[in-house]
A and B are shown apart, each in its own frame.
Chain A
Amino acid sequence: MGIISAAGKDLSGNLLSLQQGRSAIGPLQNFPSRYADRLPFGEIKISNETLRRQAGITEPGVTRTTLLAIPAMKEAISNARLSEADLRSPRTAFINATTVGGMCLTDELAKDAHRKENGSEYLSSYDCASVTLFLMKYFGLTGISDTLNTACSSSANAILQGARLIRHGLADRAIVGGVDSLAKFTINGFNALHILSAEKSRPFDAGRNGLNLGEAAAFLVMENVTAAAGKKCFAALSGYCNANDAYHPSSLSDTGDGPVLAMEGALKSAGLAPGDIQYINAHGTGTENNDLAESRAMERVFGTVPLFSSTKPYTGHTLGAAGAVEAVFSMLSIGQQEAYATLNFTTPMPDSTLVPLTRNTRVPMQHVMSNSFGFGGNCSALVFSAC
Chain B
Amino acid sequence: MLYILQATCVSPQPTYGLPDFSSPRHPVANRFHALEPDYQGIPTGILRRMGKAIRLAVGAALPMLKAFPTMPEGIIIGTGNGGMEDSIRFLDQIIAYDEGMLTPSDFVQSTTNAIAAQLGLLTGNKGYNSTHVQRGLAFEHALLDAGLLLRENKSAVYLVGGVDEISASNFNIDLLAGWFKQEIIDAADLYTSGTPGTIAGEGAAMFLVSLNPEGAMAHVTAMELLHTEDPGVVACTLQSFLEKNGNPGEPPDVFISGENGDIRNQPCLEAVEAMLPADAAIARYKHLVGDYATVSAVALWLGTLILQQQAIPGALVKKRGNLSTISRILLYNNYKNFQHSFLLLENVVAGSPA
Contacts and interface: CB of A to CB of B under 8 A. Distances in A.
Direct contact of A and B (CB under 8 A): yes
Interface of A: 33-35, 99, 103, 106-107, 109-110, 112-115, 118-119, 123-124, 126-130, 132-133, 136, 142, 144-151, 157, 161, 164-165, 168, 170, 184-185, 187-189, 191-193, 242-250, 257-258, 261, 374-378
7 contacts: A114-B168, A119-B173, A184-B94, A244-B75, A244-B117, A250-B104, A376-B117
Determine the main DSSP class of A at the interface with B: mixed
Contact of B133 (A129, A248, A376): A129
Given A115-B175, A150-B113, A184-B94, A376 B129 contact: yes
A250 B169 CA distance: 25
Interface in B170-224: 170, 172-177
Interface of B: 75, 80-82, 87-88, 90-95, 98-104, 107-109, 111-114, 116-118, 120-121, 123-135, 137-138, 141, 144-145, 148-149, 151-152, 168-170, 172-177, 225, 227, 338
B165 to A, nearest CB: 13
A165 B338 CA distance: 23
Chain B at the A interface: SS class: helix
Contacts of B87: 103, 185
Contact of B120 (A123, A130, A246): A246
Given A110-B92, A118-B176, A146-B134, A242 B148 contact: no
Contact of B114 (A103, A145, A246, A376): A376
B99 A375 contact: no
Contacts of B149: 164
Contacts of A35: 99
Contacts of A145: 134, 227
Given A35-B99, A146-B132, A147-B134, A124 B177 contact: yes
A94 to B, nearest CB: 10
A251 to B, nearest CB: 10
Contact of A377 (B80, B121, B144, B151): B121
Contacts of A124: 177
Contacts of A99: 111-112
A70 B103 CA distance: 35
Contacts of B338: 133
A193 B108 contact: yes
B117 A249 contact: yes
Nearest to A189: B107
A128 B293 CA distance: 13
Given A191-B102, A192-B103, 13 more contacts: A113-B170, A123-B173, A146-B134, A146-B137, A149-B133, A189-B90, A189-B107, A193-B108, A244-B117, A244-B129, A245-B126, A246-B126, A378-B117
Contacts of B148: 164-165, 168, 170
A128 B92 CA distance: 20
Given A136-B227, A188-B99, A149 B111 contact: yes
B81 A109 contact: no
B233 to A, nearest CB: 10
A200 B116 CA distance: 33
B108 A250 contact: yes
Contact of A151 (B88, B94, B104, B113): B113
Contacts of A142: 227
Given A129-B134, A161-B145, A189-B107, A249 B176 contact: no
